[in-house]
Structure 1
Amino acid sequence: MAADRTETEAERADRRWNETLQEVRVAQTGAQILFGFLLSVAFMPAFHGLAAFDRTLYVVTVTLGALATGTLIAPVAYHRMLAGQHLKPQLVDAAGHLVSVGIVLLALTVTSAVLLLLRVATAHWIAWPLTGFVTGWFVICWLLLPFLLLRRRGKNPPR
């Protein structure tokens, strides 16, 4: 229990579950919208004119999008199946792991979607460095900045 909080294990699990749900709402919405747009691409007339590499990249992107969406929805299914079983702390831990994996899958989906879009919309050579820049930005915003904040405070990541 944190020194600045006076909460029971059940209260802590409830708080952590509510925080996880808020995180899931943000990530899940983005994943679902992106996935929906990706599904429609194959039905566009220009899709059939894509090079073999770009078609393969599209398949990889859609697959990553499906995995991200499913992983980010999984905590809801866990909760539905485990509600009332007095497993909230374990549920929260499992959901936290799923959200982390889902965010990685979402980042990979966005990265591959950006590469596909830039390969189709620009000269192929510029797509790779721009996609690298976007990926680097994700690493900075999603990993490096939180890590630096924790390091500055001298703490381990919260559970």
Structure 2
Amino acid sequence: MEKETEQERIARNWDELLQELRVTQTGTQILTGFLLTLAFQSRFGELDEHQLALYLALVAGAALATVLGLAPVSLHRRFFRRGKKPRIVGLANRLLQLMLGTLALVLSGTVMFIFDIVLGRTVGYLAGGVTALTIVAVWLASPSLLRGTLPDHDSSQGR
């Protein structure tokens, strides 16, 4: 295979990041919207202090995840055609990692919140913990197991 140039690698990395952002932004924005609508439900006033504090933390986390997911596009617009794409790609990668970490917390917390309301506090903590462990296993542990068996996709070699 023909070696890809540095510019081709950067363009490919940017395209891959954009595709990942498209997938994650949709889910993040749907979750954020869901959380925002809960405050307008008739049973919202029945939340205890713990549930209310958790809810507000989840809304703040979901808003943060949304901001982190939109930031790479904003950066790209701000520095369009200024020769900054290599730095934008690096920063966008970091922002996407932060978004995924924040999203993992919000997902686990949302499961905990819902189970707490429906089945009680203990079951809520258990369900949130199981969700967090599942995310760690699927998002972190599984890729770590594959890391040693896959070629470096970012090498200067073609795909």
What TM-score range do you get, normalising by the shorter chain? over 0.9
More relative contact order, 1 or 2 (CA 8 Å, 6+ apart): 2
Mapped partners of 1:75, 1:43: distance in 2 = 31
1:18 aligns with 2:15: yes
**Given the superposition, is the C-alpha separation of residues 140 and 5 from structure 1 closer, same or farther in structure 2, using an over 3 Å criterion?**
farther
- Once residues 20 and 92 of structure 1 are traced to their aligned partners in structure 2, the CA distance between those partners, rounded to angstroms, is 8
Identical positions, percent: 35
Structure 2 unaligned segments of length 5 or more: list them: none
2:56 corresponds to which residue? Answer: 59
1:81 pairs with one of 78, 82, 90:
78
What residue is the counterpart of 2:35 in the other structure? 38
Shift of 1:5: 5.4
Equivalent position of 2:6 in the other structure? 9
Say which SS state the counterpart of residue 23 (structure 1) adopts.
helix
Are the equivalent residues in 2 in contact too, given 1:150–1:157 (CA < 8 A)? no
- Contact 2:112/2:126 (<8 A) preserved: no
Amino acid at match of 1:105: T
Distance (Å, rounded) in 2 between the aligned partners of 1:8 and 1:44: 55
Regions of 4+ moved over 6 Å: none
Structure 2 match to 1:150? 147
TM-score under structure 2 length normalisation: 0.92
Report SS of the residue matched to 2:148. Answer: helix
* CA–CA distance in structure 2, aligned partners of residues 103 and 33 of structure 1: 15
2:113 to 109, 112, 116: 116
Give the Cα–Cα distance (whole angstroms) in 1 for the partners of residues 116 and 70 of structure 2: 30
The aligned length equals 155
Residues 5 and 100 of structure 1, relative CA distance in 2, 3 Å threshold: farther
Change (3 A) 1:5 1:36: farther
AA partner of residue 83 (structure 1): F
Distance 2:2 2:36 in 1: 46
Spell out, residue by residue over 1:59-113, the C-alpha distance to the aligned partner (whole angstroms, 9 max, x if none).
0000000000000110000000011001111110010000000010111111111
